[in-house]
Structure 1
Amino acid sequence: MTALNAPADCQSKEDVRVEIDRIDNALLTLFAERHSYVTRMAEIKTDPHEAHDVARIESVIAKIRGRSLALDLDEDQAELIWRTLIDWNVNYEKGIIAARRRR
């Protein structure tokens, strides 16, 4: 993902918005890719309780916090975003697993 304009090269709000929109599009594409793997994980798991794997969640959060620091991002904000994403994924997985078990 190459920037059309580096942040310092943006001369107007519109220049900045174009870059943010480009990044948002790339993020959405990555979220969709991630979601396909979450769906596959839900297909593999056999019990809804498997969706909430505390050890895995905390491992992911630790990685996110460390990577955030390395990127000079606020690790608390990154953790909040990932915990929200993980919570959504856990609920999604539970729903798929439960629906499959009802059949």
Structure 2
Amino acid sequence: MTSKKPADCETKEDVRVEIDRIDQALIALFAERHRYVTRMAQIKTDPHEAYDPVRIEAVIGRVRSRAEGLDLDEDQAELIWRTLIDWNVNYEKGIIVARRRAE
């Protein structure tokens, strides 16, 4: 599928097609990222390991810096990543707890 630059979109439908294309790529990337989160949960042995504030703040710092470099609102990017990280922490904890109960 060929993509158009934002300035080349002449109709709302043109813009929607591009947003749908990007959404498809994003969901594939989130699915790939989720597989790594799942693997991390398999490697960790204690549910408290799921929450690593030093690592989280380092990730948020990089996200904010990258967002700024791409002319994206850093606060919006941070909110998205904090939501993703919070979900991942709870997901990891659940996997670790369930595995420990089964042992």
Opposite residue 24 of structure 1, the aligned amino acid is D
Instruction: Give distance in 1, aligned partners of 2:34 and 2:2.
Output: 25
Scaled by the length of structure 1, what TM-score is found? 0.97
Opposite residue 20 of structure 1, the aligned amino acid is I
Q: CA RMSD of the aligned region, Å?
A: 1.0
SS of structure 1 residue aligned to 2:71: coil
Query: Following TM superposition, by how much is the alpha carbon of 1:61 offset from its aligned partner in structure 2, in angstroms?
Result: 0.1
Opposite residue 71 of structure 1, the aligned amino acid is L
* Structure 1: runs of 5+ lacking an equivalent: none
* Structure 2: runs of 5+ lacking an equivalent: none
Scaled by the length of structure 2, what TM-score is found? 0.97
Q: Percent identity?
A: 75
Is 1:24 aligned to residue 40 of structure 2?
Answer: no
Instruction: Give distance in 2, aligned partners of 1:19 and 1:36.
Output: 26
Query: Following TM superposition, by how much is the alpha carbon of 1:4 offset from its aligned partner in structure 2, in angstroms?
Result: 1.3
- Conserved in 2, the CA contact under 8 Å of 1:3 and 1:19? no
Q: Which residue of 2 aligns with 1:92?
A: 91
Equivalent residues, number: 102
